[in-house]
Protein backbone atom coordinates (compact mmCIF):
# COMPACT_ATOMS: atom_id res chain seq x y z
CA UNK A 1 0.00 0.00 0.00
CA UNK A 2 1.11 3.54 -0.74
CA UNK A 3 2.91 5.50 1.96
CA UNK A 4 2.36 9.23 2.27
CA UNK A 5 4.80 11.78 3.64
CA UNK A 6 2.08 14.12 4.88
CA UNK A 7 -1.66 14.57 5.14
CA UNK A 8 -1.48 17.24 2.40
CA UNK A 9 0.19 14.74 0.06
CA UNK A 10 -2.59 12.25 0.78
CA UNK A 11 -5.25 14.93 0.08
CA UNK A 12 -3.57 15.83 -3.23
CA UNK A 13 -3.49 12.12 -4.17
CA UNK A 14 -7.18 11.66 -3.30
CA UNK A 15 -8.16 14.82 -5.21
CA UNK A 16 -6.22 13.51 -8.21
CA UNK A 17 -8.12 10.21 -7.99
CA UNK A 18 -11.46 12.07 -7.78
CA UNK A 19 -10.73 14.43 -10.70
CA UNK A 20 -9.49 11.48 -12.81
CA UNK A 21 -12.47 9.17 -12.08
CA UNK A 22 -15.37 11.68 -11.88
CA UNK A 23 -16.53 14.92 -13.47
CA UNK A 24 -15.23 17.00 -10.55
CA UNK A 25 -12.45 19.55 -10.94
CA UNK A 26 -9.94 20.64 -8.28
CA UNK A 27 -11.49 22.88 -5.61
CA UNK A 28 -10.97 26.65 -5.71
CA UNK A 29 -9.51 26.46 -2.18
CA UNK A 30 -7.43 23.60 -0.76
CA UNK A 31 -9.48 21.82 1.96
CA UNK A 32 -8.54 21.99 5.65
CA UNK A 33 -8.74 18.84 7.77
CA UNK A 34 -9.28 18.98 11.54
CA UNK A 35 -9.06 15.89 13.73
CA UNK A 36 -11.36 16.20 16.74
CA UNK A 37 -12.69 13.95 19.49
CA UNK A 38 -15.52 11.70 18.32
CA UNK A 39 -17.75 12.99 21.13
CA UNK A 40 -17.28 16.59 19.93
CA UNK A 41 -17.88 15.51 16.32
CA UNK A 42 -21.13 13.72 17.19
CA UNK A 43 -22.39 16.76 19.12
CA UNK A 44 -21.56 18.99 16.14
CA UNK A 45 -23.31 16.68 13.65
CA UNK A 46 -26.15 15.12 15.64
CA UNK A 47 -26.56 17.28 18.76
CA UNK A 48 -26.09 14.05 20.79
CA UNK A 49 -23.88 10.97 20.80
CA UNK A 50 -23.95 9.23 17.40
CA UNK A 51 -21.63 7.04 15.36
CA UNK A 52 -20.51 9.72 12.88
CA UNK A 53 -16.80 9.61 12.00
CA UNK A 54 -16.53 12.58 9.63
CA UNK A 55 -18.36 15.80 8.83
CA UNK A 56 -18.13 18.42 6.12
CA UNK A 57 -20.23 21.33 7.43
CA UNK A 58 -21.77 24.07 5.30
CA UNK A 59 -19.74 26.57 7.33
CA UNK A 60 -16.82 26.96 7.44
CA UNK A 61 -16.49 26.01 3.78
CA UNK A 62 -13.59 23.84 2.59
CA UNK A 63 -13.32 22.26 6.04
CA UNK A 64 -13.55 18.59 7.00
CA UNK A 65 -13.76 17.32 10.57
CA UNK A 66 -12.52 13.76 11.13
CA UNK A 67 -12.71 11.73 14.31
CA UNK A 68 -9.33 11.34 16.02
CA UNK A 69 -10.09 7.60 15.88
CA UNK A 70 -9.44 7.68 12.12
CA UNK A 71 -6.00 7.16 10.60
CA UNK A 72 -6.30 7.89 6.85
CA UNK A 73 -2.51 7.91 6.44
CA UNK A 74 -2.35 4.20 7.35
CA UNK A 75 -5.80 2.65 6.80
CA UNK A 76 -7.45 2.39 3.38
CA UNK A 77 -10.94 2.25 4.93
CA UNK A 78 -10.26 5.54 6.74
CA UNK A 79 -8.77 6.95 3.53
CA UNK A 80 -12.10 6.14 1.82
CA UNK A 81 -13.92 8.22 4.45
CA UNK A 82 -11.63 11.18 3.72
CA UNK A 83 -12.21 10.73 -0.04
CA UNK A 84 -15.98 10.72 0.61
CA UNK A 85 -15.73 14.02 2.51
CA UNK A 86 -13.49 15.55 -0.18
CA UNK A 87 -16.24 14.75 -2.69
CA UNK A 88 -18.65 16.75 -0.51
CA UNK A 89 -16.19 19.69 -0.63
CA UNK A 90 -16.12 19.46 -4.44
CA UNK A 91 -19.92 19.14 -4.68
CA UNK A 92 -20.32 22.40 -2.79
CA UNK A 93 -17.40 24.06 -4.63
CA UNK A 94 -18.87 23.19 -8.04
CA UNK A 95 -22.60 23.50 -7.18
CA UNK A 96 -23.48 19.88 -7.86
CA UNK A 97 -27.23 19.14 -7.61
CA UNK A 98 -27.86 22.83 -6.81
CA UNK A 99 -31.20 22.92 -8.69
CA UNK A 100 -32.92 20.56 -6.24
CA UNK A 101 -34.63 21.30 -2.93
CA UNK A 102 -32.30 20.95 0.08
CA UNK A 103 -33.45 17.46 1.11
CA UNK A 104 -33.10 16.05 -2.43
CA UNK A 105 -29.79 17.86 -2.97
CA UNK A 106 -28.40 16.38 0.26
CA UNK A 107 -29.59 12.89 -0.71
CA UNK A 108 -28.15 13.09 -4.25
CA UNK A 109 -24.82 14.39 -2.94
CA UNK A 110 -24.65 11.58 -0.39
CA UNK A 111 -25.48 8.90 -3.00
CA UNK A 112 -22.85 10.33 -5.37
CA UNK A 113 -20.21 10.35 -2.61
CA UNK A 114 -21.12 6.78 -1.52
CA UNK A 115 -20.90 5.40 -5.06
CA UNK A 116 -17.48 7.00 -5.63
CA UNK A 117 -16.38 5.90 -2.15
CA UNK A 118 -17.19 2.30 -3.14
CA UNK A 119 -15.48 2.61 -6.55
CA UNK A 120 -12.34 3.86 -4.79
CA UNK A 121 -12.37 1.07 -2.19
CA UNK A 122 -12.98 -1.59 -4.85
CA UNK A 123 -9.45 -0.93 -6.12
CA UNK A 124 -8.23 -2.27 -2.78
CA UNK A 125 -10.64 -5.23 -2.64
CA UNK A 126 -12.88 -3.45 -0.12
CA UNK A 127 -16.35 -1.93 -0.01
CA UNK A 128 -18.75 -0.15 2.31
CA UNK A 129 -22.32 -1.03 3.14
CA UNK A 130 -24.93 1.65 3.02
CA UNK A 131 -28.51 1.79 4.14
CA UNK A 132 -31.03 4.63 4.33
CA UNK A 133 -28.64 6.70 2.23
CA UNK A 134 -25.75 6.56 4.69
CA UNK A 135 -22.68 4.41 5.22
CA UNK A 136 -23.46 1.57 7.62
CA UNK A 137 -21.60 -1.04 9.65
CA UNK A 138 -22.28 -4.72 10.13
CA UNK A 139 -23.70 -5.33 13.58
CA UNK A 140 -21.40 -8.29 14.12
CA UNK A 141 -18.20 -9.11 15.98
CA UNK A 142 -17.03 -11.38 13.15
CA UNK A 143 -14.02 -9.98 11.32
CA UNK A 144 -15.04 -9.30 7.73
CA UNK A 145 -12.11 -8.41 5.47
CA UNK A 146 -14.28 -7.33 2.52
CA UNK A 147 -16.21 -4.53 4.22
CA UNK A 148 -14.68 -1.42 5.73
Q: Write out pLDDT tens, residues 86-95.
A: 999 999 999 9
Q: What is the pLDDT of residue 141?
A: 53
Question: How far, rounded to the nearest angstrom, does the alpha carbon of residue 73 sit from its chain's CA centroid?
Answer: 14
Does 144 fall in a domain? no
> 77: pLDDT confidence band, cut at 50, 70 and 90?
very high
- The residues, ordered by sequence, that sit 6+ positions from 116 with a Cβ below 8 Å of its Cβ are 18, 21, 22, 83, 84, 87
Does 2 fall in a domain? no
Q: What is the pLDDT of residue 51?
A: 87
pLDDT tens per residue, range 106-118:
999 999 999 999 9
> Sheet holding 63-67: strands in order across?
32-36, 63-67, 54-55
- DSSP β-ladder status, 32-36 and 63-67: parallel
- DSSP β-ladder status, 134-136 and 129-131: antiparallel
Does 141 fall in a domain? no
pLDDT tens per residue, range 24-75:
999 999 999 999 999 999 999 999 998 899 999 999 999 999 999 999 999 9
Domain extent, residue 48, equals 7-136
Does 104 fall in a domain? yes
Does 92 fall in a domain? yes
Model pTM score:
0.91
Q: What is the pLDDT of residue 143?
A: 60
Does 147 fall in a domain? no
Number of folded domains that form the chain: 1
What CATH number does the domain containing 90 carry? 3.40.390
Amino acid sequence: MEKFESLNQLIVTLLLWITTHTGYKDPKIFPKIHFIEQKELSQMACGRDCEIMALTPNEPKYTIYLSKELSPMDDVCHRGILLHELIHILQEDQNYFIDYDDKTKKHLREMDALVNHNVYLSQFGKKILYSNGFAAKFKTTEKNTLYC
